[in-house]
């Protein structure tokens, strides 16, 4: 196995539907009934997923396509199971998976039943052990984590969920998602994300729900600076979320504010390059933030849509910025400090990464 695959990794920015296996997406698209096909043009699906570079607008058209193909609870369960298996086989040991709870009255789907179907997917994984229910005590049911490195024993992946608010939603809909997250905390929901087309909607629409999430002790991560929008970036940084994603279109005043705030940044290299949010890897802000020792974590965003894996992102960063294995392990290990799970999980991961580091010396 290549070092980037065998190295244990932490994934904190992965959208469930964007991480769908392309083979599954095509299979589902082809299996639609004639009736359902009305909404989906199969050759268009094939064309779009084979395209190498998708503008941000095309990416959001693809998401609408994917959502049209996922027509029932069983499919939600299936793609969740496959996504967990794929991350585990790439040696992701801790995954925060995010997804937008969807309501679709025509198939009897509520936001709650959608997330229940995701939970069912976590339960149905059989190729690895999935830890997704938070421990009621502080103690360490995960103290056997180091067995991940033991070839003979089963792998473990720790999974927690983040519920996303789509920028198309109203304040009320956003609030419903936050309330759902609160109801499902004991099932491993740890935070709230704001995502969806950055050209849509206004910051003030989501703010009441995000404030409520914070008051109730949920962690918040925001897609921030995916397009040029100076005022929104400023407002988002002033909100001081626990993490932000992307940070592509920052101006000097935003960098200053970000660096002094120490808000960790979820970096999605391939996603940023493929959507033309950053002109080339050489000029990606990863380099400057890394040099400044700003808290960073490498993530995939959408493994299906961008044909990537976390190990590929690690390799790309190592090759592009001249970082060695040791530095890459440090990068992976530092992410433990930015996870949304409780201190019990954090401690287990710290102990685990210590032992991995000791074995590498």
> Cα separation of 297 and 245, whole Å?
10
Active site residue 46: no
Please say whether the beta carbons of 98 and 15 come within 8 A: yes
Binding residue (CB under 6 A) for ligand 5GP from 71, 195, 300, 308: 195
Q: Which of residues 202-231 bind ligand 5GP (CB under 6 A)?
A: 223, 226
Binding residue (CB under 6 A) for ligand 5GP from 4, 7, 11, 15: 15
Nearest to 345 by CA among 156, 201, 184, 80: 156
Binding residue (CB under 6 A) for ligand 5GP from 196, 225, 264, 344: 196
> Cα separation of 77 and 123, whole Å?
9
DSSP annotation of 227 reads S
C-beta neighbour count of 26 within 10 angstroms: 15
**In the bound complex, what is the minimum distance in angstroms from residue 61's beta carbon to ligand 5GP?**
10
198 in contact with ligand 5GP (CB under 6 A): yes
Nearer to ligand 5GP, 91 or 164 (CB): 164
Applying CB under 6 A, the span of 42-50, 194-202, 214-222, 250-258 interacting with ligand 5GP comes to 194-202
Active-site pick, 82, 96, 226, 232: 226
Nearer to ligand 5GP, 116 or 302 (CB): 302
Nearer to ligand 5GP, 9 or 15 (CB): 15
Nearer to ligand 5GP, 232 or 348 (CB): 232
270 in contact with ligand 5GP (CB under 6 A): no
CB neighbour class for 11 (10 Å; exposed up to 12, middle 13-18, buried from 19): buried
Binding residue (CB under 6 A) for ligand 5GP from 302, 316, 317, 335: 302
The pattern of x and - marking residues 159 through 178 that bind ligand 5GP according to CB under 6 A reads -----x-x------------
CA 105 to chain centre: 27
> Cα separation of 293 and 144, whole Å?
31
> Cα separation of 361 and 350, whole Å?
17
**In the bound complex, what is the minimum distance in angstroms from residue 121's beta carbon to ligand 5GP?**
12
DSSP string over 108-136 = TB-HHHHHHHHHHHHHH--SSEEE-SPPS
Please say whether the beta carbons of 19 and 303 come within 8 A: yes
Applying CB under 6 A, the span of 16-24, 40-48, 179-187, 234-242 interacting with ligand 5GP comes to 16-24
131 in contact with ligand 5GP (CB under 6 A): no
Range list of H helices, the chain: 3-6, 22-31, 34-37, 42-50, 56-69, 73-89, 111-124, 171-183, 203-215, 230-239, 252-261, 269-274, 286-291, 310-321, 325-334, 343-360
Q: Which residues pair with 76 in a beta bridge?
A: none
Nearer to ligand 5GP, 196 or 241 (CB): 196
233 in contact with ligand 5GP (CB under 6 A): no
> Cα separation of 129 and 147, whole Å?
12
The pattern of x and - marking residues 63 through 102 that bind ligand 5GP according to CB under 6 A reads x-----------------------------------xx--
Please say whether the beta carbons of 29 and 354 come within 8 A: no
Nearer to ligand 5GP, 196 or 344 (CB): 196
Binding site for ligand 5GP (CB under 6 A): 15-18, 63, 99-100, 164, 166, 195-196, 198, 223, 226, 271, 301-302
The residues carrying an active-site annotation are 226
């Amino acid at each position: 196995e290549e070092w980037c695959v065998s190295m244990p990794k932490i994934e904190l920015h992965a959208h469930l539907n964007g991480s769908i296996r392309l083979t599954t997406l095509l299979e589902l698209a082809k299996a639609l009934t004639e009736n359902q096909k009305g909404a989906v043009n199969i050759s268009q699906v094939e064309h779009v997923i084979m395209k190498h570079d998708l503008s941000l607008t095309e990416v959001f058209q693809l998401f609408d396509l994917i959502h049209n193909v996922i027509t029932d609870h069983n499919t939600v369960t299936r793609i969740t199971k496959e996504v967990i298996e794929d991350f585990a086989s790439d040696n992701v040991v801790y995954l925060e998976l995010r997804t937008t709870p969807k309501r679709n009255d025509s198939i009897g789907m509520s936001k709650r039943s959608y997330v229940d179907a995701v939970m069912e997917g976590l339960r149905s994984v059989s190729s690895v052990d999935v830890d997704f229910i938070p421990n009621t005590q502080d103690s360490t049911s995960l103290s056997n984590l180091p067995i991940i490195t033991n070839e003979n024993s089963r792998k473990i992946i720790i999974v927690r969920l983040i519920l996303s608010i789509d920028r198309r939603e109203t304040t009320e809909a956003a609030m419903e998602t936050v309330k759902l997250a609160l109801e499902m905390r004991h099932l491993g929901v740890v935070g709230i994300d704001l995502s969806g087309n950055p050209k849509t909607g206004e910051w003030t629409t989501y703010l009441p729900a995000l404030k409520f999430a914070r008051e109730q002790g949920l962690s918040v991560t925001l897609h921030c600076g995916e397009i040029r929008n100076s005022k929104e970036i400023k407002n988002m940084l002033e909100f001081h979320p626990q993490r932000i994603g992307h940070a592509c279109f920052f101006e000097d005043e935003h960098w200053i504010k970000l660096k002094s705030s120490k808000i960790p940044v979820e970096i999605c290299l391939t996603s940023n390059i493929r959507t033309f949010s950053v002109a080339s890897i050489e000029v990606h802000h990863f380099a400057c933030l890394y040099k400044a020792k700003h808290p960073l974590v490498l993530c995939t965003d959408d493994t299906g849509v961008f044909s990537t894996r976390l190990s590929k992102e690690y390799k790309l960063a190592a090759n592009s910025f001249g970082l060695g294995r040791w530095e890459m392990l440090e990068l992976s290990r530092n992410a433990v400090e930015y996870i949304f799970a409780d201190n019990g999980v954090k401690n287990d991961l710290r102990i685990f990464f210590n032992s991995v580091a000791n074995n590498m010396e």
